Chain A
Amino acid sequence: MHRRVGWIRDNGGVTTTRPVIGVLALQGGVAEHLAALERGGAVPRPVRRPEELAGVHGLVLPGGESTTMTRLLDGFELFEPVRRRLAAGMPAYGSCAGMVLLGSRVLDDHRGRGGADSATPAVGVRPLAALDVVVRRNAFGRQADSFEADLDVEGIDGGPVHAVFIRAPLVEKVGSDVQVLATVEPVGQGPAEPGGREPHRPDPDGAPAEASVGTIVAVRQGPVLATAFHPELVGGDERVHRQFVQMVRAC
């Protein structure tokens, strides 16, 4: 348990508590996560320094550029403190680049470096290894391929989530403890079956995954949640953030 500060009570409330949830504020879509967390029942705090990290019950890693965030995590001696908190069980939620950083291995989808099937580790990004997954960066293509779609997400009630994918990554392989929460359909197949994909794909040799399985876009492993899309960009729907606040409360 890493609760370094007390839970903050609602105004006059005696039953509900609002956990303090940090948003890694080095670069990217920080403000949107802070706002969504506030609406989702948390006390949001930007985190740029180790002492700010120490005061939060959970951490959101926002979308942005994973190489930039890696550089700044390293440059401001935040990488190790974040990694240690995650290893000790701090709840975390990563969207897009945040998902990339939470992964265990990161591959590039990069024409100059081998393309979609390459097993080349992504340059310039150091993953925090909080999720037992292999993530591929920019897996859907360039900005012209960025898209919006409605997506059923396991554990999120009340209909599909409107998902905004921006130069999005995808999860290519998951470990046995990782729950798949949402998929988008691969080329030439039927409608997506959220959560219906066999989540266990052991990968002892680290070989690249089959092209046909590269469509996982939301996962959870214990207290760690990750989405390839950006629920924080969709105003008025903070169900994913509410879910994460619940996860932090339950921890």
Chain B
Amino acid sequence: MTTGPTPANNTARGAVTGTDGVKRGMAEMLKGGVIMDVVTPQQAAIAEEAGAVAVMALERVPADIRSQGGVARMSDPDMIERIVESVSIPVMAKARIGHFVEAQVLQSVGVDYIDESEVLTPADEANHIDKWPFTVPFVCGATNLGEALRRISEGAAMIRSKGEAGTGNVVEATRHMRRIRAEMRQLSVLESDELYAAAKEHRVPVELVREVAETGKLPVVLFTAGGIATPADAAMMRRLGAEGVFVGSGIFKSGDPARRAEAIVKATTFYDDPDVVAKVSRGLGEAMVGINVEDLPEGQHYAQRGW
């Protein structure tokens, strides 16, 4: 898998790669940060310079996938590799839901994280990718707690809310974040013998339900995604419990991407300080135009993809 030189022997002293610890730990290191969609090495460099913790390498941002239509697939490995070579921050890439071969290709190309994403056209209507056998970690979308825990039981090492990507409208992300958090709170007040029924209701293993009930949080990092377009959007999502944010079309579909990117990074760190959010929100130029979620045609609600 190594594409770069490896000065130290990773088998030293019983060393193991691809563990839960390094997969989930990698997401811990992204916390408090912003992950930005980019389509060119130039955009990746702008994102890195603005303070992104990672970039998502894509051929088309979700807003363009919506407007151009057609089947959306994994990006060209050449294009992903050019972005990998242009930045030192981690590079993520998207595979279609259930498309385990696309995921194997992305692992082979050397991406740092795979997003099994509803933004692409699903490849399997029943099964998500079995993520455990992979060395590279996966992030998956969720609209509610059951969906999040099902993805974790399949091996996801990070969860993000789905939101409604490519709309510049944060309403769906808000709904998903509030729902996931509310359902976790509900578990925490249940009696131990009530957790079996809760597990059945959420359609997930009781062990995961018990863990959430005891700790009050997901066993992996929780980010938000879908429709975040402004520094205030990012700050609100953090107030709602997101440990970091994905910004898709919101940056490079706006008037001044470099400034907006940096402003969203700053607002994500100082999400609880309205003075900072106000300061960085000034003079950013035009935000992406946006689409009202209720205006989306049937079949174009990405959040409904995945099961």
Q: A30-B32, A145-B1 are in contact. Are A140 and B26 (CB under 8 A)?
A: no
* A-facing residues in B115-168 (Cβ within 8 Å): 135-137
Q: Which residues 57-115 of B sit at the A interface, judged by CB distance below 8 A?
A: 84-86, 88-90, 107, 110-113
Tell me if B10 and A147 are in contact (CB < 8 A).
yes
Say yes or no: is B197 at the interface (Cβ < 8 Å to chain A). no
State whether the Cβ of B266 lies closer than 8 Å to any Cβ in chain A: yes
Q: Are A170 and B8 in contact (CB under 8 A)?
A: yes
Stretch touching chain B among A6-14, A115-123, A173-181, A197-205: A115-123
Task: Report whether A170 and B7 are in contact in the complex, using a CB–CB cutoff of 8 Å.
Answer: yes
Q: Count A-B contacts at CB 8 Å.
A: 203
Is B33 within 8 A of A32, CB to CB? no
Say whether B33 contacts A27, CB under 8 Å: yes
Segment at the A interface, from B16-24, B204-212, B227-235, B287-295 = B16-24
Q: Is the CB of B12 within 8 A of A146?
A: no
Residue contact B266 to A143, C-beta cutoff 8 Å? no
Alpha-carbon distance between A65 and B31 when the two chains are bound, in angstroms: 10
Asked if A148 and B21 make an inter-chain contact with CB atoms under 8 angstroms apart, the answer reads yes
Query: What is the bound-complex CA distance between A125 and B57, given in angstroms?
Result: 22
Looking at the complex, which one of B9, B16, B30 makes contact with A188 (CB distance below 8 Å)? Answer: B9
How many Å lie between the Cα of A247 and that of B25 in the bound state? 27
Q: A221 near B: Cβ within 8 Å?
A: no
**A38 CB-CB contact with B under 8 Å:** no
Do B28 and A29 have beta carbons less than 8 Å apart?
yes
| B2: A residues at CB distance < 8 A | 141-142, 144-145
Per a CB cutoff under 8 Å, which of B32, B89, B137 touches A67? Answer: B89
Instruction: Find the residue from B1, B4, B19, B25 having the highest chain A CB count within 10 A.
Output: B25
Q: How far is the CA of A169 from the CA of B51 in the complex (A)?
A: 19
Query: Are A144 and B13 in contact (CB-based, < 8 A)?
Result: no
Q: How far is the CA of A249 from the CA of B298 in the complex (A)?
A: 64
A112 CB contacts on chain B under 8 angstroms = 85-86
A142-B112, A211-B7 as given contacts; A64 in contact with B13, CB under 8 Å = no
Contact (Cβ within 8 A) B8 A215 = yes
Identity of the chain B residue whose Cβ is nearest the Cβ of A162 in the assembled complex = B21
Contact, CB under 8 Å: B9 / A187: yes
Residues of chain A contacted by B30 (CB below 8 angstroms) = 28, 64-65
The answer on a CB contact under 8 Å between B5 and A144 is no
Question: Is the pair A192, B12 in contact by a Cβ cutoff of 8 Å?
Answer: yes
Q: How far in angstroms is the closest Cβ of chain B from A160?
A: 8
- For the complex formed, measure the closest distance between the CB of B177 and the CB atoms of chain A, giving whole angstroms: 18
Interface size in chain A (residues, C-beta < 8 A): 66
Chain B's closest residue to A215 (CB) is B8
* Residue on A nearest B20 in the bound complex, by CB: A148
Known: A75-B266, A215-B7. A148 touches B88 (CB 8 A): no
On whether the beta carbons of A142 and B15 are closer than 8 Å, the reply is no
- For the complex, what is the distance from the CA of A112 to the CA of B136, rounded to whole Å? 21
A contact face: mostly helix, strand, loop, or mixed: loop
Query: Once the chains are docked, how many angstroms separate the CA of A27 from the CA of B48?
Result: 14
Judging by beta carbons under 8 Å apart, are A64 and B33 in contact?
yes
**Contact of B88 (CB < 8 Å), options: A32, A67, A144:** A67
A84-92, A103-111, A238-246: which lies at the interface: A103-111
Q: How far does the Cβ of A31 sit from chain B's closest Cβ, in whole Å?
A: 8
Q: Which of A63, A142, A160 has the most CB of B within 10 A?
A: A142
B52, CB-defined interface residue at 8 Å:
yes
B49 adjacent to A28 (CB under 8 Å): no
Q: In the complex, which residues of chain A have a beta carbon less than 8 angstroms from the beta carbon of B50? A: 71
Question: A101 an interface residue at 8 Å Cβ cutoff?
Answer: no
Interface pair B7/A144, CB less than 8 Å apart: no
- Which residue of B4, B22, B26, B269 contacts A115 across the interface (Cβ within 8 Å)? B4
A149 at the A/B interface (Cβ < 8 Å)?
yes
Residue A191 CB within 8 A of the other chain: yes
Instruction: Evaluate contact between B88 and A143: CB separation under 8 angstroms.
Output: no
Question: From A211, which residue of chain B is reached at the shortest CB distance?
Answer: B7
Check B3 against A142 for contact (C-beta < 8 Å). yes
> Which residue of the partner chain B has the closest CB to A144?
B1
Q: Contacts of B1 on A, CB cut-off 8 Å?
A: 141-142, 144-145
CB of A72 closer than 8 Å to a CB of B: yes
Question: B51, A96: Cβ atoms under 8 Å?
Answer: no
Enumerate 30 A-B pairs (CB-CB under 8 Å) in ascending A order.
A25-B32, A26-B32, A27-B31, A27-B53, A28-B30, A28-B32, A28-B33, A29-B29, A63-B28, A64-B30, A65-B53, A67-B51, A71-B49, A72-B265, A75-B266, A108-B88, A111-B4, A111-B84, A112-B85, A137-B88, A138-B4, A138-B88, A139-B7, A146-B26, A149-B13, A150-B14, A160-B13, A187-B7, A214-B7, A233-B28
Residues of A within 8 A of B (CB): 25-32, 48, 63-65, 67-68, 71-72, 75-76, 96-97, 108-113, 115-117, 122-124, 137-151, 160, 164-167, 170, 184-189, 191-192, 211, 214-215, 230, 233
Could you list which residues of chain B lie within 8 angstroms of chain A, going by C-beta atoms? Answer: 1-10, 12-19, 21-22, 25-26, 28-33, 48-54, 84-86, 88-90, 107, 110-113, 135-137, 262, 265-266, 269-270
A68-B52, A170-B8 given. 9 additional CB < 8 A pairs? A29-B28, A68-B51, A113-B88, A124-B88, A144-B110, A144-B136, A166-B22, A184-B9, A191-B13
